[in-house]
Structure 1
């Protein structure tokens, strides 16, 4: 039995301090879950916390998948097998630097759908989603012999809205699904946020990484009784393309953790292991300037992106040992390096040479959004015929990047981050083609749920452009392009798909170095590693060992810009970029 006492959490009637670490099952290969959980236990933790990403489980309406990396039940049972407890945070909004904060893009295609508020359409979809999740969680609660101690209601809601009817409705859905363990909310320890994001009868917790005494005092003002808990103790930070790799000093972070535990508080370390934004799952921020998040979610956590203990791991373990028993032997960093080799990329296939092999075409009178064609990457085509020489092409807003071609020749790029809205074409006649890329949906703030693609009027001079053909690129099908043949020995500017074959002695982690490439996406044996970009900071894509076969392996690269030297290089470890710019 787990309960909230006057000043402590109570497990079977006795005070219990939660020593938790965030570890997202959807950012780690499932065959590595047990390893990461055991390493967290060896650091001295007794609990693992995870978000649940709605959009990953439900990529389309009416779906709820739990296969592979989305097998929440298997993950929770792995936690129980390690003798640990669990905290589940299902949102529906999770932030987490995850695409759209976890909210499905399809949810906002209808008119009038609310975003994180008590609105009929939004609540109907949220209720269906939560019932799916909690059907998994319900039998795994601690009072039924499972590991789950707590379930969270929404996520940092006070930073977004002030709709207590919405929060109360979520509580009713959660309780109605058979959840009997205590419920919590989390907000930054600011008076306005704690007031707007909390509910009486639901334990308020905080999210912070410094100034512990001050933050706990503010939290106690809004939570007069019950245990104090930092639900997100930020021990690092995330990175954006074009920025630096963020780190937090080991001694500084350990001192803040010590202050938190000395105050008697419970903690969830965010993150104990960050993992990777595999596929196209990374989000973005837009506070006036659009900043997409990188593929690595290393977070400068105690366990790095590859799951190896860092100096922060041992420092945190020593702090925890002052307040609770820790296992006799901590996890150790492996002494060996990953395999190193170099292989040539070959058999290029260019999108513009034969787009029919890349996806499905549809016809539109006006420019559709990427959601309208169900794509994260699409080719849009129309014919232009304007007298005279150069012509000005203008777009209302670019979300997020468009490469412009005229009669198959590259003209330039329109980039959201630069607020680009116009580009000069060398002439006003020909076949105009735009390759439009979604670089990650905003996961925090007012722009959650916005459409992707080219928004607003598209004009050549003063005339609107109409009669568009759209080819939705099937990214899952890119590794299969060679089945239909048609390679191009002179590929030119991307999109161009390349492939290579390499040998591995065993199924171990690899590190694919991408710093010599341009901008694109990579797969190994059909598993999408994620995005790369020469802007950095990260210079490697992490390849989980379970993805690699002992023997022959296939690497596929979709280059959206230019690869100067078509070579793939595997190096000895992570290269996450400079910490100063």
Structure 2
């Protein structure tokens, strides 16, 4: 006992730590089986806390001596400042010591102030101790070298010297601690690494594994962060997700709610877990296994699973087409004698043949080294543990103590080394170029709109674009496509923009994002949602408070989804456009642009490259450009390229030349010939652009389809058709064209294009003629189309006022006077938007049409029913008239009288066609309202026609794409199996056929074709004859024309 008293405090602390360590080993070896499980776990946690604090006490004594005791002889020790300093050091050390008790006994679902403070102090404690030891070692080394050389070492005044060390220590510790805290507050960066495994089965080529490690749920990480991690993983759409240990720092019962978000992980072939050292320090691992299995996360407890291209199972895939995914317990379980646990490589790899790909999950790199020594045939080992780069100085120790530190290593045959580095994309103004990761870069891009191409075909189209030599793609994000109703967001299936961008990333394509909020794009209302017009006085694309509030809310949903996909975060998005061609809009509101700039910076960061695009006229650049947004231009073929880029140089004297929209073709309008741009002219202009070192995006590289009602329109009112073929290098159906190969040949002159076969044009099939029978007229089906009955109003209401944003609305009133003689029905203020099919007591009278027919003579008796079926043909997408209200937007007159007392029927065509088609065969329309219970004997059109066809059997690779043709039909809408293909109008053209993608067709049952004919069917109007449509293996778009491209704000003289 006397000897113990004579020991220094440091020696006593070391002796205490050794004693606790011995007690841990003894209890693990001899008491684990005899103690009740709960008591045994509590004992171990207490031992672990005492052991850690005993070791820390040695360091705390050294810190105290260096920062307090050595100053005790100074005259300043009696000052209030010194007493406060001592209290601060005591508090700091007490919080640091409490961190282990917090981890082992005081964990909650979310971190709280005390736990965060304790762990922050623990990090600062480690930094401070390291710095003090380093400083002391340097002093001792300096003195030793001076003594060896026989030189006399000068010294500072003793008081100054004693004060300098703690002051310097505090400054260094504070700086490094703040850096560490800022680093910890950042979301994790996603790193993408390609691993070349030659044994991988062909069916599993491009297998994507998401690796999570060292999450450490507990004092500093809770449910909120776990939800963020899960969202980031799901954005990547991995085939397999693996969690390689140190998931938790406490018991499963305590962290049950914090870990619950793991149940939302979406991995096609499963999610798997192996233990880390912290699982054995802090919890009963069996409870964690049970909890994880309830969340559909499979623990690999020295075991493996066989994963095939379609499923994970214990037996493997068909014909041995599988990989072996194995997991071992952490090696710390051996050191701790944790009952039933320990690294057992032989058991874990049981059944994993050297002939198959083997992937091993092992938490510690030391375990990975042992595994490779025992089984060198393992193809890939995934580990964690080192926290590489997370906190200094532990990262230095981790580097020297572990055989692998960070990144990708290949240890057999050839050597691959992956070093994670900061990804950057910025402008080099001194050399007029982009820098990607510090290297000169030029993009050659093409536009593809994911909202115009079915998700089923995204990969096919993107791969064709890559094989043309493109290294980037450009896409818009239409607000109305994702928020069709206020607050109701759609980001799944064909709306899954995150998946589309990630798919481009997987194929090695960068992404230029154009999220608007206004996009033009010949899309309904330029991508702005129609419900914005519910406030009639709203000024769109301006600093109108109502508009800004809606934009703020929308971008607050969209941009956080885009942030993980930015290039700096491991994604493919290199630049982001703000607004679109704003210089062409009449408001010229710089406050609006500044608002958008601030919003984009807030959500995406100050280092993201934001840009604008405007037409190649100086006045457009003046209103469209803003300091802090890089200004680019757009122009098409046959243009003076030098003059066009000189316009950009007036806004951007330095920086890369960029044509953000190089037009490869042009859009169509109903009733006009199909637009075409000569291939040789487009190719020549592209060569001219690239030869100047400029960056270019080809608009469009594939146009796609305006399915359903999504087409836009221009003023004076001209609606665009369903096809958005655009005469692009890839056709509407994704077919390779002459223009595709011509542009590829140009690109080959400047960059190396990918080798290998180009994906072929998708096969098409002519399914032939399909007979359709007349089902019901719109009037007969009113009870189904408008089950809630009509809205009654003295005067007509617009589509917006009845919350019908697309499609059709039936307006009904009665004739207030006898019209035996033809009487003019007029819209004196051109208030029919866009096309009204007029009938009196079911007898068609004609059509009122926007800008064209505003007066129509009708006949009928007083009190007869006057119906106007009004079609929204697509909202204006460009210019000052985008506040495009639909329906009867002003009063109608009959003779000189204003018509009143309207019954207004918003028609839900989509729900009726998809859900209630089988109810239509009877004579009962379902109408229960006197307003619609009229005699329908005179009604013949508009009407629904329906027919079925089956995919032929015995022919391989069916179904295939096809085109539906409407010989003899006039105008209407068509659905196949409930999917709204869009509008047909062969009476006007140029589009005569509609593209039918194969994924909407069925082979297991007959396919249903539903046609709404608005004007005239080829089989008469009595419904007794059968009409036909025809499925063809080629499109018919009609007569074509050529032109020299001018900006969209300049009229084009088109010659047939």
TM-score (norm 1): 0.96
Task: Give the structure 1 partner of residue 298 of structure 2.
Answer: none
Question: Are 2:819 and 2:859, in contact at CA under 8 Å, matched by a contact in 1?
Answer: no
Residue 155 (structure 1) shift = 0.1
State the Cα deviation string for residues 488-520 of structure 1 (Å, max 9, x = none): 799964221111111124232111112431111
Residue 427 (structure 1) shift = 3.1
Of 20-29 and 205-214, the range deviating more from structure 2:
205-214
CA–CA distance in structure 1, aligned partners of residues 527 and 782 of structure 2: 31
Verify: 1:342 aligned to 2:789, yes or no. no
Task: Give the structure 2 partner of residue 112 of structure 1.
Answer: 537
Verify: 1:374 aligned to 2:803, yes or no. yes
CA–CA distance in structure 2, aligned partners of residues 537 and 129 of structure 1: 36
SS of equivalent residue, structure 1 residue 260: helix
Question: Are 1:400 and 1:439, in contact at CA under 8 Å, matched by a contact in 2?
Answer: yes
Verify: 1:131 aligned to 2:556, yes or no. yes
Verify: 1:549 aligned to 2:1002, yes or no. yes
Of 337-346 and 67-76, the range deviating more from structure 2:
337-346
CA–CA distance in structure 1, aligned partners of residues 992 and 723 of structure 2: 10
State the Cα deviation string for residues 220-273 of structure 1 (Å, max 9, x = none): 122101111100010100100000110111110000000000011001110111
Give unmatched runs, 5+ long, in structure 2. 1-423, 924-935, 953-957, 1020-1026, 1042-1055
Task: Give the structure 2 partner of residue 484 of structure 1.
Answer: 919
Residue 136 (structure 1) shift = 1.3
Task: Spell out the pairing of 1:345-356 with structure 2 (5 A cutoff).
Answer: 345-356=772-783
Verify: 1:5 aligned to 2:428, yes or no. yes
Residue 338 (structure 1) shift = 2.1
State the Cα deviation string for residues 356-376 of structure 1 (Å, max 9, x = none): 221242111111111222333
Verify: 1:256 aligned to 2:703, yes or no. no
Question: Are 1:515 and 1:540, in contact at CA under 8 Å, matched by a contact in 2?
Answer: no
SS of equivalent residue, structure 2 residue 571: coil
CA–CA distance in structure 1, aligned partners of residues 659 and 941 of structure 2: 46
Residue 555 (structure 1) shift = 1.1
Question: Are 1:507 and 1:547, in contact at CA under 8 Å, matched by a contact in 2?
Answer: no
Task: Give the structure 2 partner of residue 512 of structure 1.
Answer: 964
Verify: 1:172 aligned to 2:606, yes or no. no
Distance 1:383 1:208, change over 3 A: same
Residue 387 (structure 1) shift = 4.2
Of 339-348 and 20-29, the range deviating more from structure 2:
339-348
Question: Are 2:443 and 2:472, in contact at CA under 8 Å, matched by a contact in 1?
Answer: yes
1:522 aligned residue (948, 952, 974): 974
Task: Give the structure 1 partner of residue 652 of structure 2.
Answer: 223
Verify: 1:560 aligned to 2:1014, yes or no. yes
Verify: 1:26 aligned to 2:461, yes or no. no
Of 152-161 and 331-340, the range deviating more from structure 2:
331-340
State the Cα deviation string for residues 184-215 of structure 1 (Å, max 9, x = none): 00001100001110011211111111321210
Task: Give the structure 2 partner of residue 182 of structure 1.
Answer: 609
Residue 132 (structure 1) shift = 1.4
Residue 389 (structure 1) shift = 3.0
Question: Are 1:250 and 1:312, in contact at CA under 8 Å, matched by a contact in 2?
Answer: yes
Distance 1:136 1:309, change over 3 A: same
Residue 442 (structure 1) shift = 0.4
Question: Are 1:493 and 1:561, in contact at CA under 8 Å, matched by a contact in 2?
Answer: no
2:580 aligned residue (124, 134, 155): 155
Question: Are 2:837 and 2:870, in contact at CA under 8 Å, matched by a contact in 1?
Answer: yes
Task: Give the structure 1 partner of residue 749 of structure 2.
Answer: 322
Residue 570 (structure 1) shift = 0.3
Verify: 1:472 aligned to 2:899, yes or no. no
1:407 aligned residue (835, 841, 849): 841
Task: Give the structure 1 partner of residue 855 of structure 2.
Answer: 422
CA–CA distance in structure 1, aligned partners of residues 440 and 846 of structure 2: 63
Task: Give the structure 2 partner of residue 384 of structure 1.
Answer: 815
Give unmatched runs, 5+ long, in structure 1. none
Distance 1:264 1:491, change over 3 A: farther
Residue 117 (structure 1) shift = 0.7
Question: Are 1:17 and 1:266, in contact at CA under 8 Å, matched by a contact in 2?
Answer: yes
SS of equivalent residue, structure 1 residue 279: coil
Task: Give the structure 2 partner of residue 53 of structure 1.
Answer: 478
CA–CA distance in structure 2, aligned partners of residues 329 and 273 of structure 1: 21
Question: Are 2:518 and 2:580, in contact at CA under 8 Å, matched by a contact in 1?
Answer: yes
Question: Are 2:434 and 2:440, in contact at CA under 8 Å, matched by a contact in 1?
Answer: yes
Question: Are 1:380 and 1:434, in contact at CA under 8 Å, matched by a contact in 2?
Answer: yes
Verify: 1:432 aligned to 2:863, yes or no. no
Distance 1:111 1:571, change over 3 A: closer
Question: Are 1:496 and 1:559, in contact at CA under 8 Å, matched by a contact in 2?
Answer: yes
SS of equivalent residue, structure 1 residue 518: coil
SS of equivalent residue, structure 2 residue 619: helix
Verify: 1:205 aligned to 2:659, yes or no. no
SS of equivalent residue, structure 2 residue 690: helix
Verify: 1:538 aligned to 2:538, yes or no. no
Task: Give the structure 2 partner of residue 441 of structure 1.
Answer: 875
CA–CA distance in structure 1, aligned partners of residues 479 and 836 of structure 2: 28
Of 492-501 and 535-544, the range deviating more from structure 2:
492-501
Question: Are 2:843 and 2:938, in contact at CA under 8 Å, matched by a contact in 1?
Answer: no
SS of equivalent residue, structure 2 residue 701: strand
Task: Give the structure 2 partner of residue 393 of structure 1.
Answer: 825
Instruction: Please tell me the root mean square deviation across aligned C-alpha atoms, in Å.
Output: 1.7
Residue 456 (structure 1) shift = 1.8
Task: Give the structure 1 partner of residue 946 of structure 2.
Answer: 499
CA–CA distance in structure 1, aligned partners of residues 879 and 922 of structure 2: 44
Distance 1:12 1:22, change over 3 A: same
Residue 548 (structure 1) shift = 1.2
SS of equivalent residue, structure 1 residue 41: helix
CA–CA distance in structure 2, aligned partners of residues 29 and 147 of structure 1: 21
Residue 572 (structure 1) shift = 1.2
State the Cα deviation string for residues 444-472 of structure 1 (Å, max 9, x = none): 11110221112222122222111111111
SS of equivalent residue, structure 1 residue 470: strand
CA–CA distance in structure 1, aligned partners of residues 538 and 1015 of structure 2: 37
CA–CA distance in structure 1, aligned partners of residues 999 and 938 of structure 2: 32
- Largest Rg, 1 or 2: 2
State the Cα deviation string for residues 136-175 of structure 1 (Å, max 9, x = none): 1100101111010011000000000311111011010011
